[in-house]
Amino acid sequence: MTDYLSKGAPREGELEKINRYALSPLNEEEVYTFGVVLCDNEIDRDFERFSAEALKALAPMFEGRTGIFDHSGSAKDQSARIFECSYCEDAFRRTSAGENYACIKARAYMPKTEKNRNLIEEIESGIRKETSVGCSVNEKICSVCGEDIRRCSHIKGRFYDGKLCHAVLASPADAYEWSFVAVPAQKASGVTKSFDFSEKGEGGSFGELLSLASQGEKYRASLMRDCVVKCCELFPDIESAFFRELLARADADAIQRLNKSLRARGEGGISRPQFERKSGAQSDANNQFRI
């Protein structure tokens, strides 16, 4: 079984795979190898995640892809190349979406040159750890309704009936590159990067923050339901779906203010617009008042 996270000289059988990409055969003393976790199926900082099927399809696409810096796309930033890539699944670990944890692990190499000496030292010392991938997918599916999230009314990062809305990336089309970055979108991607959901931050653990956000979104959803009901009572000729879509992008404060106004209208306590009597009132009733 491949030790994907080992670093240093090529393991047995790896040099042959590396030399598939070298114009002149390299020996063990000329190359440095290391492992990379490219991407996984956990919800990332952009509220997106790859489906397991997408990861399986992407794994072979990343073989031979070059490693750069910050997705620059510049040839001068090419630093490493993937020579082996595999889909891996952990049946004993669950994601926040309730699935078995899965990821793409890769083995990469770079020549031991003067140019790469500092980079190798940074990898060995743990300075260069985080990575990010560049790829394209054909589908971005809403986790709430199952439709294209670019066309539905749900918003990534919000909770709907206690369920976090995120985009499920599916049907990959191509894998372009992978990059060393300072802050990856995916928390677990990198040379040896891992992320603990119980880890404490200034605002509490990630799980606690999710719980607080969920409570807030439940309150917002309750306000929104009340608001839709009142709007339908006030405008019975308009479908409720119109009001739901209209309110979907409003925050809780805005919905609360609207709800308060609608409640006052329903209770007969709504303020009436003030009119000013025109001087020298005319007999025509339509011309006697102006706003």
pLDDT of residue 273: 46
**Could you tell me the mean pLDDT of each successive run of 10 residues in the chain, 291 residues long?**
57 87 88 90 91 95 86 73 92 89 91 88 82 89 94 92 91 87 67 40 47 64 83 84 80 82 69 46 46 40
What are the tokens at 118?
A: 């500092």
- 114, with CB counted inside 10 A (0-12, 13-18, 19+), is exposed
The C-alpha atoms of residue 254 and residue 257 are separated, in whole angstroms, by 5
> Do 35 and 105 meet the contact criterion of CB atoms below 8 Å apart?
yes
Q: How far apart are the two ends of the chain, measured CA to CA in Å?
A: 81
In the prediction, which pLDDT does 210 show?
Answer: 52
Helix extents (H) in 10-81: 14-18, 52-61
For position 101, what pLDDT does the model report?
93
Domain ranges in the chain are: 14-195, 204-266
pLDDT at residue 272, rounded to an integer: 45
Which helix or strand (DSSP H or E) is residue 207 part of?
Answer: helix 206-234
Unique residue bearing structure tokens 């490693």: 67
CA 174 to chain centre: 19
Q: What is the pLDDT of residue 187?
A: 63
Q: How many helices (H) and strands (E) does the chain have?
A: 6, 13
Q: How many CB atoms lie within 10 A of CB 25?
A: 10
Handedness of CA 183, 188, 191, 193 (dihedral sign): positive
Cα 118 off chain centre by:
32
Cα separation, 213 vs 200, whole angstroms: 16
Q: What pLDDT does 190 receive?
A: 62
